[in-house]
Amino acid sequence: MALLTKKDAGLILDPLADNKPITIQVLGICSALAITAELEASIVMSIAVVFVLGIGNVVISLMRNIIPSKIRIIVQLIVVATLVIVVDQVLKAFAYELSKTLGAFVGLIITNCIIMGRFEAFALANGPWKSFLDGIGNALGYGVILIIVGFFRELLGSGTLLGIPVLGDPIMKTGLYATGYENNGFMIIPPAALIVVGIIIWVQRSRNPALVEEN
């Protein structure tokens, strides 16, 4: 017997393909704008969200029958906050420099719409295993976009990838810079992320016209 049934696999794969949280559900845009100027920060942020959403969905799903519906938002917040504090402390202990770059945005995972959205829409109505898969799937879908955006912004904006110069040295004018190429300062400022996300949405929708809404 396969590890995942077809339906379960769909839970993970759908958000990675045609139901990406950022580009289709348009959730989690704020963090996509804020931290994607560097690829490394995008990757760490994605891992953090995978962790928080995967475990959070399981916890909420386990408690779904005993949470009074009137105070469910508060209970969800407490669960997310706990997990985010764990992530934050781990980062501070093992990747202090990085935790400084990410700054408040790790804390702001609490308010990331994707997390509350999945708790409300999925974990409250499904069992723990399915919720776990759904959480991982959506967080990965979020992370993929984050990493794509981070890749282009760091490459075009700073000429580096993960902090390693790949296009030559802009000051000594080596590599590509010798031909007169310059870094694009526009890619470093947050509005560029909006435009990159917009282009990703454009590409995705023109490849799959079913996603285009009627208006």
User: Rounded CA gap, 215 and 202, in Å?
Assistant: 16
Give the torsion sign (CA, 78, 80, 107, 22): negative
Shorter beta-carbon distance to another protein: residue 92 or 173: 173
Shorter beta-carbon distance to another protein: residue 121 or 189: 189
Shorter beta-carbon distance to another protein: residue 66 or 171: 171
Give the torsion sign (CA, 199, 203, 208, 214): positive
Shorter beta-carbon distance to another protein: residue 101 or 184: 184
Residues 163/168/173/174 CA torsion (nearest 10 deg): 150
- Footprint on residues 25-84 left by another protein (CB under 8 A): none
Shorter beta-carbon distance to another protein: residue 182 or 214: 182
Strand, helix or coil at 164? strand
- Angstrom CA distances, 173 to 163, 177, 178, stand at 18, 5, 5
Neighbours of 27 (CB within 10 A): 20
Shorter beta-carbon distance to another protein: residue 182 or 213: 182
User: Rounded CA gap, 196 and 184, in Å?
Assistant: 14
The number of CA neighbours under 13 Å toward the Cβ of 160 is 12
Cβ at position 186, least distance to another protein in Å: 4
Cβ at position 180, least distance to another protein in Å: 6
Cβ at position 125, least distance to another protein in Å: 38
Binding mask 169-208 for another protein (x = CB under 8 A): -----------xxx-xxxx-x-----x--x---x------
Residues that bind another protein (CB under 8 A): 180-182, 184-187, 189, 195, 198, 202
